[in-house]
């Protein structure tokens, strides 16, 4: 175990609850900004673009993995948790990034991939040697059945069995993702301590928190029981594409295990020693995502916030779906804390998934920024980037390569940022980008939107500022109000401030009677909506906000 210095002591002026209601901007480093012309984004590039992120008004950045890795899953296969992969830079550059972000008032959260490592990690190289060495049970090993087949029926999200035969050790090892991503054995306390030491290493480097990858995959069933089949009508494709038989199982034994709670408490206990830190966990589950989110964030001794895939799935952008998710959250996770997002690096960009025009995108972000909980924005969504079409020969994602052409993978949401359409490769790189830049993205470059007051980019800035200036929106309770088809209606309340938020997702104008009381319309948000007496008039795909007046 590594010896690490005593944790820093939080100062009185630090806000330990900064994450409540915060807006987090996700950076996919390969595609954000390249500083050295190799076609791959890097830490120096992020430093260069930090003023842009700060100009949006967000509170924090989440940086997807930049650790040493063979990059078979683009950094989510870590071979050295304490190192920066040379393609992204150095530890010294990371230190400069943190310092520069803090000077701009931005918190820094990094992506910790703890459920599995790369098969090139030293732990796995030692573990696979034999069944009797200090690392022999750092990973999940099991004997074959008598007929030589895998220990059970568990499936990999990336296709095929979740078990891979290792000829050196003469056993199967578990991998919930690629076969080059063996699962760590959390029943081994030494493994848990190794991972906590890694978290402490980065906390000592002044990070403000973590995004915890696949947080519900940490533990598996020790008895290795088969997952039961899932009835066809219950199959949900929010986690795996329709063509993947992973959807055919009820994953009660390969993830979501109750033993997970004790490890989450250990992470929280460590983080609490470092003052104003926070973690957001990724809950990957198609049946019980919101319920698990509630379990993992309840109270003050677990994870601060989690996100599930209900708003990242292929379900439509409809009033009924949004209301259903919010009602589920109120019922199953009321004592927890959500981090809501419409896009990230794993799903089709919501502009394409929901077939939104610019008016629809403005409505969507206005709704998202009105929800209770914290908010995550994925790079490029503020520009209205659509899902890029990637030719088969340009594919990089192993997930897409496995299931092409029925599922094209995640490359389409990972193409480079478009900064300036007058520069080569839209200002992203002087070299050939690792993924092609979509031609249709060029007109949406930052340079074309930043000086246009009614652009989507500036609408994001306006709505972020609006949320931060009204504590009812960032900190308050949310109360749904019964409404007609195509309308989402709720109030947000904090102390003496109450705001009503109305959203018309339909194609026809609507009239919405407001609850009893005196209301004053909040203006300056570029929506075609008005208040006449106690009736709010909203055009199609428009939002309306009003503040209750106190007598």
Query: Looking at domain 474-548, what is its CATH homologous superfamily?
Result: Golgi alpha-mannosidase II (2.60.40.1180)
pLDDT tens-digit readout, 139-179: 999 999 999 999 999 999 999 999 999 999 999 999 999 99
| Percent of the chain scoring above 90 in pLDDT | 94
Looking at residue 6, what is its pLDDT?
A: 46
Average pLDDT value over all residues in the chain = 95
pLDDT above 60 for 1: no
Q: Confidence band (pLDDT; 50, 70, 90) for 550?
A: confident
**406-463 pLDDT per residue, tens:** 999 999 999 999 999 999 999 999 999 999 999 999 999 999 999 999 999 999 999 9
Across 505-551, the runs of DSSP E, i.e. the strands, are 510-513, 519-521, 529-532, 535-538, 542-548
- Report pLDDT for 359: 97
Q: Per the structure block, which two tokens stand in for 75?
A: 């950094």
- Could you confirm whether 484 is annotated as catalytic? no
- The bridge status of strand 510-513 relative to strand 23-27 is unpaired
> Residues 399, 400, 401, 405: is their CA dihedral positive or negative?
positive
pLDDT per position as a tens digit, 207-216: 999 999 999 9
- Of the listed 77, 85, 183, 213, which one is catalytic? 213
pLDDT at 526 over 90: no
Given a cut of 70, whether residue 2 has pLDDT beyond it is: no
- Is the CA virtual torsion 197, 201, 202, 206 positive or negative? positive
pLDDT in tens, 253-303: 999 999 999 999 999 999 999 999 999 999 999 889 999 999 999 999 999
Tokens of 177: 């993702």
Query: Residues 497, 517: contact at Cβ < 8 Å?
Result: no
Q: How far apart are CA 445 and CA 57, in angstroms?
A: 19
Confidence of residue 4 (pLDDT cuts 50, 70, 90): very low
Q: Which of 512, 478, 208 is nearest to 330 (CA)?
A: 478
Give 14's pLDDT tier (boundaries 50, 70, 90): confident
Task: Give the pLDDT of residue 11.
Answer: 39
- Asked whether residue 551 carries a pLDDT value surpassing 90, the answer given is no
Confidence of residue 239 (pLDDT cuts 50, 70, 90): confident
Q: Is 282 a catalytic residue?
A: yes
Q: What is the Cα–Cα distance from 468 to 474, expressed in whole angstroms?
A: 6
Q: Where are the domains of the chain?
A: 23-115+189-466, 474-548
Q: Which one of the listed residues 119, 282, 291, 382 is annotated catalytic? A: 282
Residue with tokens 């803090």: 102
Quick one: 23-115+189-466 is in which CATH superfamily?
Answer: Glycosidases (3.20.20.80)
Tell me the per-residue pLDDT of 71-110, one tens digit each, with 9 for 90 and over.
999 999 999 999 999 999 999 999 999 999 999 999 999 9
Tokens coding 272: 């609490």
Q: What is the mean pLDDT of residues 4-25?
A: 71
CB 522 within 8 A of CB 546: yes
pLDDT at 192 over 90: yes
What's the token pair of residue 180?
């080059």
44 has pLDDT over 90: yes
With 50 as the cut, is the pLDDT of residue 469 above it? yes
Helix (H, G, I), strand (E, B) or coil at 45: helix
């Amino acid at each position: 175990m590594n010896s690490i210095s005593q944790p820093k002591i939080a100062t009185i002026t630090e806000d330990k609850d900064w994450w409540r209601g915060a807006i987090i901007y996700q950076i996919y480093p390969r595609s954000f900004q390249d500083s050295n012309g190799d076609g791959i984004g890097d830490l120096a590039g992020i430093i260069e673009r930090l003023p842009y992120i700060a100009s949006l008004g967000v509170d924090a950045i989440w940086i997807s993995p930049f650790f040493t890795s063979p990059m078979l899953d683009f950094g989510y296969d870590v071979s050295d948790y304490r190192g920066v992969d040379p393609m992204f830079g150095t530890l010294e550059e990371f230190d400069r990034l943190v310092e520069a972000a803090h000077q701009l008032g931005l918190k820094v959260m990094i992506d910790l991939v703890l459920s599995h490592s790369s098969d090139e990690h030293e732990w796995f190289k030692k573990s696979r040697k034999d069944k009797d060495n200090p690392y022999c049970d750092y990973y999940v090993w099991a004997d074959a059945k008598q007929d030589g087949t895998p220990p059970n029926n568990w499936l990999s999200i990336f296709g095929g069995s979740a078990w891979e035969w290792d000829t050196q050790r003469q056993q199967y090892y578990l991998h919930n993702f690629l076969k080059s991503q063996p699962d760590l054995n959390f029943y081994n306390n030494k493994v848990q301590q190794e991972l906590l030491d890694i978290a402490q290493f980065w906390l000592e480097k002044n990070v403000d928190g973590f995004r915890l990858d696949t947080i519900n995959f940490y533990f598996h069933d020790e008895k290795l029981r088969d997952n039961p089949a899932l009835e066809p009508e219950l199959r949900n494709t929010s986690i795996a594409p329709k063509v993947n038989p992973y959807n055919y199982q009820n994953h009660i034994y390969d993830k979501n295990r109750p033993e997970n709670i004790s490890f989450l408490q250990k992470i929280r206990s460590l983080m609490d020693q470092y003052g104003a830190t926070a973690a957001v966990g990724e809950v990957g589950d198609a049946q019980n995502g919101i319920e698990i989110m509630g379990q993992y964030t309840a109270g003050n001794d677990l994870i601060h916030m989690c996100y599930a895939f209900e708003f990242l799935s292929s379900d439509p952008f409809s009033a009924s779906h949004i209301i259903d998710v919010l009602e589920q959250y109120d019922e199953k996770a009321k004592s927890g804390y959500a981090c809501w997002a419409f896009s990230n690096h794993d799903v089709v960009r919501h502009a394409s998934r929901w077939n939104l025009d610019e008016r629809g995108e403005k409505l969507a972000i206005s709704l998202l920024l009105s929800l209770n909980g914290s908010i995550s924005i994925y790079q490029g969504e503020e520009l209205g980037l659509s899902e890029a079409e990637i030719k088969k020969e340009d594919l990089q994602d192993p997930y897409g390569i496995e299931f092409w052409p029925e599922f094209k993978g995640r490359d389409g949401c990972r193409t480079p940022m478009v900064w300036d359409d007058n520069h080569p490769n839209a200002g992203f790189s002087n070299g050939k980008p690792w993924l092609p830049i979509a031609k249709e993205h060029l007109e949406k470059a930052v340079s074309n939107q930043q000086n246009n007051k009614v652009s989507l980019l500036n609408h994001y800035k306006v709505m972020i500022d609006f949320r931060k200036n009204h504590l009812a929106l960032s900190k308050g309770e949310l109360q749904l109000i019964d409404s007609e088809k195509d309308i989402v209606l709720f109030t947000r309340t904090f102390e003496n401030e109450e705001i009503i938020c109305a959203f018309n997702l339909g194609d026809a104008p609507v009239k919405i009677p407001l609850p009893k009381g005196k209301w004053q319309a909040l203006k300056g948000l570029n929506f075609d909506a008005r208040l006449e007496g106690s009736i709010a008039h909203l055009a199609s795909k428009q939002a309306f906000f009003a503040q209750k007046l106190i007598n």
